[in-house]
Amino acid sequence: MNLKKINNTYSIFLFLFSIFFSLIIEIFSISPSYIFCFFLISIIGISHGALDNFKGKKLFNYYGIKNYNLFYIIYILISFTVIFCWVLFPVVSLCLFLLVASHHFGREDSSHERIKNSKIIDFYFLLKGSAIILAPLYFHENEVLQIFNILGVVIRDFNNSLIFGLLILSGLSCMLITKKFYMSILDYLTICIINYFLDPFIAFTIYFCFLHSVRHSLSLIKELDNVQFKKGFELFLKKALPLTFITALIFIISVYLLNNIYTLDQSILKVIFIGLASLTFPHILLEYLIEKNEKKS
């Protein structure tokens, strides 16, 4: 399986699709509902982390721990701790989430490329991944501030010149990360296009589901079967379905309960972003520990 070729082809397809989709939205003044975006994220977006239980078993094997049920307990405890901290310290939690998510997005979205050796490569990953946060802030500041307000963080405004400068640096970081940077630039332009034309939450849905999640899922499919894509894809669906279903069900129940207090759109935003934060931290910690142990072995 030539994963690099598949990713490059997909970058071109997604770039052209983002232009076509954005023009359709602009011309006909239509827009997907938040409910539709919610289900896309709950199914496609979440699925790329649905193999964490298998990775947890792999990690426990490194440490010689045989009680695999302990993994689920630790994972859930970390998730609930994140939610608890968000309720108590929303500003700090949001800032940490945005920083961690930016680095994660930048790194994972570059995993299929040949990375340049650099002592500050993690800083480049942070800059690259920050585009998904900076682009909506620059093009739709008021809408993003409203989302922050719903998440419990009240901010009046941002320095547009600073945001624009950081957004340009995010694009430049694509050239500093890889030797063949044109595909990264294509992904960067895709992010800018969808955020220019679309509502921030809809733009994030497209990025998270169809750029970030698909990319990560492709790498997982390759791990499952490096030769036959179809077989690897079938194995991925079989393994990812249980946790994806459970997580989606929890998200749906959470929206239903919150809808008694907030509007439906507000409930969706709270569940998606706080929920993603609660899953992102244990997911990234798991990836880090596995990578650390793989380097030792």
Instruction: Tell me the sheet residues that pair with 115.
Output: 178
- Tell me the C-alpha distance between 112 and 218, whole Å: 9
> Which tokens sit at 270?
């709270």
Q: pLDDT in tens for each of the 297 residues of the chain?
A: 667 788 888 889 999 999 999 999 888 888 889 999 999 999 999 988 888 988 899 899 988 888 889 999 999 999 999 999 999 999 999 999 999 999 999 998 887 777 888 889 999 999 999 999 999 999 999 999 999 999 999 988 888 999 999 999 999 998 888 877 777 889 999 999 999 999 999 999 999 999 999 888 888 888 888 888 888 889 999 999 998 999 999 999 999 999 999 999 999 999 999 999 999 999 999 988 888 888 776
pTM for the model stands at 0.93
Q: Which residues, 6 or more positions from 232, have their beta carbon under 8 angstroms from its beta carbon?
A: 1, 221, 222, 223, 224, 225, 226
Tell me, rounded to whole angstroms, the distance of Cα 241 from its chain centroid: 19
